[in-house]
Amino acid sequence: MSDDEIDKTIEEVMKEIRASPDYSGHSCSAHSDTQCSQNKCSSDNEENNGKLKVDIYVPLDACTCEWDKFMNRVFVELTPYIKHIDYDTKNLNSVEARNLNLHNKCIVVDGEKKFSSSFTLKRELPRLLKAKGLI
């Protein structure tokens, strides 16, 4: 996948994030007591259409400068397989994240496998997709 295609995908994801009710804007003085509307785990009740479910947890109520590089690195790894992935960006400061015992930016695959770096995701993603019969 070309750099332009990766940039376009990242741009689309950032638009979705900014449209989220949990997103508090670009200010570095974002409030940590922002209410999260993602207190339910909808992925447990929805069909993934045979795709690998990837949830990306970042502090949406913090300044984007705290998590934009992490998102960029994650999407560099996801983009080559994007047609096999159902992704969602979720607030790290939510009840759902606390229930998963998440304390730092991370990626959760199929609700159970946790990755704290894009490097680990890069290594494991092809294996996970193959195990599910997607590639």
Is residue 12 in a domain?
Answer: yes
Is residue 38 in a domain?
Answer: no
- pLDDT at residue 32 in the model: 40
Is residue 35 in a domain?
Answer: no
- pLDDT at residue 48 in the model: 57
| Digitized pLDDT (tens) for each residue of the chain, 135 residues in all | 677 777 777 777 777 776 766 665 544 434 443 333 333 344 444 455 789 999 999 999 888 888 999 999 999 999 999 999 999 999 999 999 999 999 999 999 999 899 999 999 999 999 999 999 998
d(CA 6, CA 75): 7
- pLDDT at residue 30 in the model: 41
Q: How many domains does the chain have?
A: 1
Is residue 106 in a domain?
Answer: yes
Q: Which domain holds residue 86?
A: 3-24+48-131
Is residue 33 in a domain?
Answer: no
Is residue 40 in a domain?
Answer: no
- pLDDT at residue 104 in the model: 93
- pLDDT at residue 16 in the model: 74
Residue 85: name the closest of 113, 54, 115, 109 by CA. 54
What is the total residue count of the chain? Answer: 135
Is residue 83 in a domain?
Answer: yes
Residue 76: name the closest of 121, 116, 46, 32 by CA. 121
State the virtual CA torsion across 33, 22, 99, 121 in degrees, nearest 10.
Answer: -130
- pLDDT at residue 39 in the model: 37
Is pTM beyond 0.85? Reply is no
- pLDDT at residue 38 in the model: 36
- pLDDT at residue 47 in the model: 53
The amino acid that residue 36 corresponds to is C
User: What's the CATH number where 105 sits?
Assistant: 3.40.30.10
Is residue 126 in a domain?
Answer: yes
